[in-house]
Amino acid sequence: MRSEPRIGVKVNSALRGLRPLLVEWTALLEEYCIAHRYDDNPWFYNERATLSTLAGAAWRLEGWTALEEYSTKKWGGNQKKGSVDAGKLRAGRCDLFVAHRSAAFALEAKQAWQPIGQRIKPFLRVENAVAA
């Protein structure tokens, strides 16, 4: 594992198993930006480009594995009462699965551009992306 990145990584107790991966991911992102003289970064592109760096961080850590965009079963997308899809399993995809001996996580990712300095409802775009 690389040294701690300059930016701190905090996780709640339920997700503490992800901390080593998030530390490595932050270090990898910093390395990418340095390699491109801060003229480029992975999150400028899209969700897939960003997730590929998280998967790469997993593979850099001893004992971690990652699998992107695999087929799985998902519950019906519309959980509103009375919806035809509510409570039914359907074919779906998982954005990223990461695992270690002590922890495994199936991740659904959303990428949203958040304006800096917005005063009214500061995380509205993030909330809308999560709800979509």
Phi, psi of 46 (to 5 degrees): -155, 180
Burial group, residue 6, by CB count within 10 angstroms (0-12, 13-18, 19+)? exposed
Give residue 1's pLDDT.
47
Give the mean pLDDT of 69-95: 73
| Torsion over CA: 120, 122, 125, 131 (sign) | negative
pTM recorded for the entire structure: 0.75
9 band by pLDDT with thresholds 50, 70 and 90 = confident
129 band by pLDDT with thresholds 50, 70 and 90 = confident
Distance, in Å, from the CA atom of 63 to the CA atom of 78, rounded to the nearest integer, reads 37
pLDDT digits (tens, 9 = 90+) for 33-61: 999 999 998 888 889 999 999 999 999 99
The DSSP code for 5 is P
All structural domains of the chain with their residue ranges: 13-131
